[in-house]
Chain A
Amino acid sequence: MGIAMKSKLLAIISFVVFGFSTQLMAHGGATGVVKERMEQMSDMKNALKILSDMFRGKSDYDVQQVRTQAKIINNHAGDALTQFFPEGSLTAPSEANGKIWQQWADFSALAVQLKSASGSLGEAAGQRAVAAPEVFLTMSMQAAPAKAVAPSADSYFKTLTKTCSACHTKYRNE
């Protein structure tokens, strides 16, 4: 084997070994669209942590920070989210569920709802709810607030997180 041939072989081995190791570091070996959407979800999770810490009073409420984090989620929502879900992209370590493509219209609608809720949260960031709505418990599934609650950053944040959980419940393997 000539020197050039050995160098080429070494380069290939290095690429395979180190390239593969680097990919393993990011999201447990995810590649391609799976890696991109896992990074996207990670970005949104980090934004939601900053938001939830403010809404629960663990950190100071900062209107500008709410807008910034809402914008991060907004940029990843709608088509920006669904573009990373080509049909059948379930390669490990993806946590996505195959129902996504059986119920694509619903999945897409949730992505649009995420866009809308995060947009509304950014716009209403300066309007905090005065108090949590009082809820009457009855013996039916309907547990409506005692009176209509004016939209606020708090109510949009709740809508936003309910959208996340609705999507995770249907389309993420827990």
Chain B
Amino acid sequence: MNIIELKDLHKIYNETEVEVHAVNGVDLTFEKGEFAAIVGPSGSGKTTLLNMLGGLDTPTSGKITINNTDISHLSGSQLIDFRLWNIGFVFQAYNLIPVLTAKENVEFIMHLQGRKKNEREARTKELLTAVGLGDRLNSRPSKLSGGQQQRVAVARALASKPKFVLADEPTANLDSKSTENLLDIMERLNKEENITFIFATHDARVMKKARRVITVEDGKIVSDVRKNGDE
């Protein structure tokens, strides 16, 4: 079952004198439970594609349907609400709130959703334990390593019970051991809990783990490879 459908998606930037066609007629679908990587060189349009998938940017033309909702024409505040309830984000630079502990960072998004204290606390503990940080609940980001911070970010992304998680270069700032550890955790969550992960990356380690690799060049999809061999 498709949870995401992109149809003839275009994104043109006119901010400079030169018109930039960052995404150029992309058609793409994602099914529930995918572990996919969008790859490509810098400036290929993978981040723009990911931003539009996440409702952080709007297409110039085309249609984005997520769980039967066309988000291409939602207003700014509708998009904020849509993101809150449907999409989990993991960013390259972790982007945790530095003044909150690991537990509070994970709880934060559930505060935004207005979930009750008992539910928040139980889910936070469950998620931080799942990412191997059950003993670091009260540590602030500054007391955690990069890998640990990114694992908190994964827990935060999952806390809102999203339909899928978008991870933009999640391993770019991590060493090999942390990268492997993080990818193992995300793969396990994907397999055991059927959580959909979509990465934008040019990290070979991520591509290796991904079961689907979509290559983007000059705003176009040049290949879409599934690890079982289908293309």
Q: Do A and B come from one complex?
A: no
| Residues of A near any B CB (own CB < 8 A) | none
